Amino acid sequence: MILLTTAFVPAPVDRSIEGSLLDLPNDRPASPTAVAVPLNCTDRATLPQVDNVTTMSWSPDSTVIALVRVVTVPSNKTITGFEEDQRFGVMKVATGAIRELGHGSRPAWSASGAFLSYWNEDGSIHVLLSGEIVAEIDASQPGMVWSGEALLYWKDNEIRAWDSGVVRAIATVDPDLAPHYPYDDAYFSADGTQFTITRYAHDGTSLRYVGTTATGAMALIGDGNTTFLEWSPRGATLLLRSATAISLRSPDGSVQNAALASFPGPVTGWTAGGRLLVGTVSATVPGGNALDRFAIWNDGEAVATIPNLLGARSFSPDGQWFAGVSRTGLYATKLDLYRCGVVSGAGVALRSDTTSRSRAQILTVDDRRLVRPVAGAITQFLQGSHTGIDIAAPVGSILVAADDGVVDAVGWVPVGGFRVCVMHAGGLETCDYHTSMSLVSVGERVARGQPVALVGMTGLTTGPHVHWEAKLNGRIVDPLAQ
């Protein structure tokens, strides 16, 4: 099947965004013989303040970041008198200037950087060329990927490609296995050659499939313990996780396994080149106030040193930057950018860092105690029959403890899916629902801001989010007021 629309010739992304130059740090070598360490990401750039970023996607040349940010707007529909809106735009790394492009999420770049796509609120994929919409694609899933200059996406049980205005069918899958958003999720590998589909059941079980894009052929993957899948940022290596083990599936289908206990911590991430990082993230209060060392799986003694940022933590494609967000308040965050390849001993001196200390002080003097558990937008408040706060964030985003306490519940509950609960001082308990993976166990003591779970879509959901609930002596209370 071939559908023809107006054809567009790829052109460079608009680089004409105005703004003043940033203070881009350098390696500051300690001596002429000092050697830069590629994954030593410790030199913080001085950025203009970019608030409340939830999602980031780097352009292929690492010069522009597509951002999704939370903006508070007045509303007569909520009990609070305001709601949080997700705004989509691009930021030029060299200047920090932002160009607003509208409403949307899940930004993705074509291989040349000419096209930028995103999932629109109306349930369609929009494609931009030089900042202007050139296509609105009827899709049934937000999961998409660019293969060169062709955008791969789902329409019911069909995999399609949009290529400069021309739409063609790639393959079909069994209609009984087609993903139905938001009850299932589907993701393509970074190179577009493979895909995964996860189908969630209301009893806590799930079925996971891996398929070949060119044919639509699918097969079950994982075992009954697997709860989380994630593609690497390069090629088609797939991470499978359970509560106790991690596996890496190569593009040829071969699998390497390891016990999670053999690593220094339960948090995973990826280098720019697609190598797996495994380790511990320090408490993210305020964030960017500690440097964490992550082991690189199957790479000898190699380690990555990265700041304890939260939110959309990622390396730039060229490996020169590590980005994420740090806290400027209980709920507010700001974008932070760290240069990689820094000489050992150089970079930000956190013990004397006034920026981290001032942000920590803001958190300390606030009369309330609970920090927002994830960098995301509130989509539903505590009102009517709704018993908590819904915060939208991408699947796999780190959820953190809202305050110090002891983990008192981990596991499946009807409707809420997989949950993690923490009992705090004074009879206050907070729970995160719909998670995809727990990072802690019952009885474990956790610190405020410590990672405890990953965002998922388990239970009854309307898309990836966390249902954040608080109880005081067993009675529902508003977590935003605690």
Q: Any idea which residue has 């280098």 for tokens? A: 271
Residue 24: which pLDDT band, with cuts at 50, 70 and 90? low
Pairing between strand 64-74 and 82-92?
antiparallel
- What Å distances lie between residue 8 and 106, 117, 152, 256, 428, CA to CA? 22, 14, 17, 43, 57
Per-residue pLDDT, 254:
94
pLDDT at residue 122 is higher than 90: no
Q: Please state which architecture CATH assigns to domain 377-481.
A: Distorted Sandwich (2.70)
In angstroms, rounded to a whole number, what is the distance separating the alpha carbons of residues 183 and 198? 9
pLDDT in tens, 134-184: 999 999 999 999 999 999 999 999 999 999 999 999 999 999 999 998 889
Answer whether residue 424 shows pLDDT above 60. yes
Judge contact between 436 and 396, C-beta under 8 A. Answer: yes
Question: In which band, very low, low, confident or very high, does the pLDDT at 47 lie, cut at 50, 70 and 90?
Answer: confident
- 50-86: pLDDT as tens digits: 999 999 999 999 999 999 999 999 998 888 888 999 9
Task: HSE, CB side, 13 Å, CA atoms: give it for residue 25.
Answer: 23
pLDDT above 60: residue 403 = yes
Read off the pLDDT of each residue in 398-417 and give the average, rounded to a whole number: 96
Mean pLDDT of 312-331: 95
Residue-averaged pLDDT of the chain: 90
Is the Cβ–Cβ distance between 375 and 54 less than 8 Å? yes
Residue 345 has pLDDT above 50, yes or no: yes
Mean pLDDT of 433-443: 96
Q: Quick one: CA dihedral 292, 296, 297, 301, positive or negative?
A: negative
Pairing of strands 2-4, 206-212: unpaired
In the chain, what are the domain boundaries? 8-364, 377-481
For domain 8-364, the CATH superfamily is YVTN repeat-like/Quinoprotein amine dehydrogenase (2.130.10.10)
Percent of the chain with pLDDT over 70: 93
Residue 13 is predicted with a pLDDT of 36
pLDDT at 16: 34
Task: Give the separation between CA 28 and CA 193, rounded to whole angstroms.
Answer: 42
Stretch 410-424: mean pLDDT? 96
pTM: 0.92
Task: Render pLDDT for 230-289 as a digit per residue (tens, 0 to 9).
Answer: 999 999 999 999 999 999 999 999 999 999 999 989 999 999 999 999 999 999 999 999
User: Mean pLDDT throughout 452-468?
Assistant: 94
Amino acid letter for position 139:
A
Sign of CA dihedral 407, 281, 481, 357: positive
Q: Tell me: pLDDT of 11 over 90.
A: no
Lowest-confidence segment of 8-12, 50-54, 294-298, 375-379 by average pLDDT = 8-12
Name the E strands within 122-165: 124-129, 132-138, 145-147, 150-155, 158-163
Whole-angstrom distance, CA of residue 373 vs CA of residue 458: 17
Amino acid symbol at 126: H
Give residue 37's pLDDT band: very low, low, confident or very high (50, 70, 90).
confident
Percent of the chain scored above 90 by pLDDT?
75
- Checking if the pLDDT of 28 tops 90, the result is no
Q: Minimum mean pLDDT among 1-15, 57-71, 381-395: which range?
A: 1-15
pLDDT of residue 478: 96
pLDDT at 22: 54
Residue 281, number of CB atoms within 10 A of its CB? 26
Return the closest-CA partner of residue 349 out of 430, 291, 303, 407. 291
DSSP, residue by residue, 171-195: EE--GGG---TTTEEEEE-TTSSEE
Residue from 153, 160, 154 nearest 1 by CA: 160
